Structure 1
Amino acid sequence: MKEHEEHWDTRYRESDRIWSGEPNALLVREVTGMKPGRALDLGCGEGADVVWLAGQGWRVTGVDVSRVALERAAEHVAEAGVEAELEWRDLAETFPAGEYDLVSAAFLHSFLEMPRENILRRAAAAVAPGGVLLVLGHAGPPSWQPDMPPHVSFPTTREVLAALDLPEAEWEVERSEEHVREMTAPDGRPATRTDNVLLLRRKAA
């Protein structure tokens, strides 16, 4: 929907760079050592994960609802001297076609209402036999901002898995855990945030 694009474009325009520029540490941990193939990065933002994956030999498609973010991602891809496809897409309405050896959904949360469960089901459907679905999410609000809008949910890995409703005979859970990271709150005080990791492998045919 148009409101998603406008919301995220506005958010990205608030600063020249709103993310660190470094790939998600949990993605790096889980993907390092995997045989590169075709990868799909959902909600790629400014492209840090896309750049890292491409640098590891993956053929990456990064999608995002913000054209501002995608412009920055394209710049970062060019600066890194790697190749990747970047496309605008509102995942609440349409999903990329094709099969992928890796589908990554890293912190796919929004203050706007978004059908996250439906998006993740489509993400699972896009995983090729033998490929993996990596879902990284916040397990709760940050310590400095405990109150969130009622429609913003932070499901556990078990809840995400249950919502995916995948045939057990076709999928294997390779990792399901929480990870606490220390960080700095906007006011400069020490803070923590708990994230969760769900790594699923689609069994080869």
Structure 2
Amino acid sequence: MSEHEHGAGPAREPAITREGYEELYGSAPAVWTGRPNGQLVAEASELPPGTALDAGAGEGGDALWLASRGWRVTAVDFSPVALGRGAAKAAELLLTDRIEWRHEDLDAWTPPERAFDLVTAHYLHSSWTDRDALFRRLAAAVAPGGTLLVVGHQQGEAWGSGHAHAHEAGALYTAEDVAAVLDPDEWADVVPETRDRDPGAAHRTGNPVPDTVLVARRL
């Protein structure tokens, strides 16, 4: 349900279905590089470790990075193949006791409310049964004083049908879309913005499209 960095240059994007992602993950021993997403590193490097929800964890690059820094992570994705790879890497890195791998569909799953010091979601792709409701559920999972980080691909002409990473228009969203579902009485420092993608990631993936980033802190 999410995208990290492709392991070997540009690759086709899967159909936004459970079957499409399973086909993608079955096409190679590893689809993503295993590196954490750059916006997560930028926002979480200075946060004190606590509990984190990685929504759309894929093969676990973000969850593994957080766990290596002392976080206790719940990593959620609808691909059992991807989750299995993440769990295997966690065992290799002796991080098994710091990560819970959950096979869930974020379009339907409700995380526990106010339970996580950090809720992070990068490049969620979905058929969006109700996108606003999904973001409300993720926001509700942030504990008082905690951080919500949602990162997507900026919409624009670069997403034309000929682009190597083309997505269905309905799969894209902006930081402002996410900010709009937050109750202003419950959140502070709500910052929706567009940021350049990490140059190294843009080169490795062939995807230069900027990120749309929402960072918010629950009161």
Q: TM-score with structure 1 length normalisation?
A: 0.85
Tell me which residue corresponds to 1:200: 216
Contact 1:4/1:65 (CA < 8 Å) preserved in 2? no
Q: Structure 1: which 4+ aligned runs deviate by more than 6 Å?
A: none
Contact 2:111 2:138 in 1 (8 A): no
Q: Aligned partner of 1:138: which letter? A: H
Query: CA–CA distance in 1 between the matches of 2:104 and 2:173?
Result: 24
Deviations 1:97-156 (A, max 9, x none): 25111111111123x44533221110011111111111011112683x51343433x332
Contact 2:179 2:190 in 1 (8 A): no
Range that drifts further, 169-178 or 86-95: 169-178
- Pairwise CA RMSD: 2.1
In the alignment, the residues of structure 2 paired with residue 14 and residue 24 of structure 1 have an alpha-carbon distance, to the nearest angstrom, of: 22
Indicate the residue corresponding to 2:160 in structure 1.
146
Distance between the aligned counterparts of 1:114 and 1:139, measured in 2? 21
Supply the AA of the counterpart residue of 1:10.
Answer: E
CA contact (8 A) 1:142 1:193 kept: no
Which residues of structure 1 form unaligned runs of 5+? none
2:104 to 75, 89, 93: 89
1:9 corresponding residue in structure 2: 22
* Percent of residue pairs bearing the same amino acid type: 40
> Quick one: distance in 2 between partners of 1:7 and 1:27?
26
For residue 76 of structure 1, the aligned residue among 78, 89, 96 is 89
After superposition, where does 1:9-158 map in structure 2 within 5 Å?
9-82=22-95, 83-98=98-113, 99-110=115-126, 112-140=127-155, 143=158, 145-147=159-161, 148-152=167-171, 154-158=172-176
User: Structure 1 9/134 Cα, relative in aligned 2: closer, same or farther at 3 Å?
Assistant: same
What amino acid is the match of 1:12?
Answer: Y
Match of 2:193 among 177, 180, 192: 177
Identify which range, 92-101 or 41-50, moves more after superposition: 92-101
> What SS class does the counterpart of residue 151 from structure 1 fall into?
helix
Unaligned runs of 5+ residues in structure 2 are 1-15, 162-166
Take 1:114 and 1:177, find their aligned partners in 2: how far apart are those partners?
A: 25
Q: How far apart are residue 10 of structure 1 and its match?
A: 1.3
CA contact (8 A) 1:59 1:84 kept: yes
Work out which structure has the larger RCO, using CA pairs closer than 8 Å and 6 or more positions apart in sequence.
2
Contact 1:131–1:201 (CA under 8 A) maintained in structure 2: yes
Query: 2:179 touches 2:192 (CA, 8 Å); kept in 1?
Result: no
